Amino acid sequence: MLRKFSGLPWTAIAPVLIFIFLAVFGSWIVPYDPGAQDYSALLQGPSSVHWLGTDYLGRDLFSRLVTGARVSLVAMAIVLSTALLIGVVIGSFAGYVGGVVEQVMISIIDIILALPSLVIALALIGIMGTGYWSMIAALTFAWWANYARMSRAVVATELQQPYIEAARVMGASHLWIYVRHILPHVLSLVVVYASADAGALVLSIATLSFLGLGVQPPMPEWGQMLVDGMSYIEEYPLLVILPGLALTLVVVSFNLLGEAFALNKVPRPIARRLWRRRRAERAAEEVARDKSEGRA
């Protein structure tokens, strides 16, 4: 799986690595506690004491921005890994079992995918109430279907391979065939797609927090910092611009990574197999046509 990342240009990987570095080590770098209020230094501009100034409660903006990276990354990582797990399990099950079960699951997945994921997440938050974990749960539910569809397609393709039949003849169990032979193919495709999805997820988390339906106030989150700053947009536009800029930079870097993946034409082995299968089908069709026309 790591091989997929090694072929990419460093310009696509470096920005994401910087973001992850800040998210992990940021709390040791920042000069102030992101929640510490200082009423003697409200709404100050950038200075040597507060590098990027302070907000309306005298909290250090630089410290809050850097700590915000962790909040976004942690929320995104939880949602992405849970959605991935659920999607791969359900999608693989549907693809492996086949038949009516598969058809029913595909229809459910297609219905979910017919709605924009953020609309689904909003509806679920409306039912569960607002809060950090309800946002995580809502986004996970809105996100898994995509990976389920992808996993199902890979499993269905792999099952047609002769080596699966060979394994079965040799007496391998279903679990062994799935874990040993099919799962690596599923993961190598789905994980790559998921890492390109990370930017969209960071954006969704920020949007929910901006609307007051995601990460709640004491926690420094960029979308929520931005909406807080909106009341001061005329006098102190920095309170709005800085969190927005941080958010945009992170999403740009994830999208750069996604674009690099797309250019690399990542899932090569699977594409090749699909192509081979299509060629085989076409050959079979030709034979059938020849037969029906009485030429064979």
Provide the minimum distance between the beta carbon of 126 and another protein in the complex, in angstroms, as a whole number: 4
Q: Does 129 bind another protein (CB under 8 A)?
A: yes
| 232 to 271: interface string for another protein, x by CB under 8 A | -xx--x--xx--x--xx--xx--xx--x------------
Question: In this chain, which of 8, 106, 123, 187 binds another protein, going by CB under 8 A?
Answer: 123
- Which residues, in sequence order, are CB contacts of 37 under 8 Å at separation 6+? 57, 58, 59
- Which residues, in sequence order, are CB contacts of 204 under 8 Å at separation 6+? 117, 118, 121, 139
Q: Which stretch binds another protein (CB under 8 A): 81-89, 162-170, 178-186, 229-237?
A: 229-237
Q: Does 280 bind another protein (CB under 8 A)?
A: no
Question: In this chain, which of 211, 216, 270, 273 binds another protein, going by CB under 8 A?
Answer: 211
Provide the minimum distance between the beta carbon of 45 and another protein in the complex, in angstroms, as a whole number: 16
Contact of 135 with 75, CB cutoff 8 Å: yes
Question: In this chain, which of 116, 184, 217, 269 binds another protein, going by CB under 8 A?
Answer: 116
For the chain, state the CA radius of gyration: 24
Contact of 201 with 80, CB cutoff 8 Å: yes
Question: In this chain, which of 31, 45, 98, 212 binds another protein, going by CB under 8 A?
Answer: 212
Cα 270 to its chain centre, rounded Å, is 21
* SS3 label, residue 35: coil
Provide the minimum distance between the beta carbon of 141 and another protein in the complex, in angstroms, as a whole number: 9
Q: Locate all alpha helices (DSSP H) within the chain, ordered by sequence.
A: 2-6, 10-29, 61-97, 99-114, 117-128, 132-159, 162-169, 174-176, 183-210, 222-229, 238-264, 268-292
Neighbours of 168 (CB within 10 A): 13
Give residues in contact with another protein (CB under 8 A).
107-108, 111-112, 114-116, 118-119, 122-130, 199, 203, 206-207, 210-213, 223, 226-227, 230, 233-234, 237, 240-241, 244, 247-248, 251-252, 255-256, 259
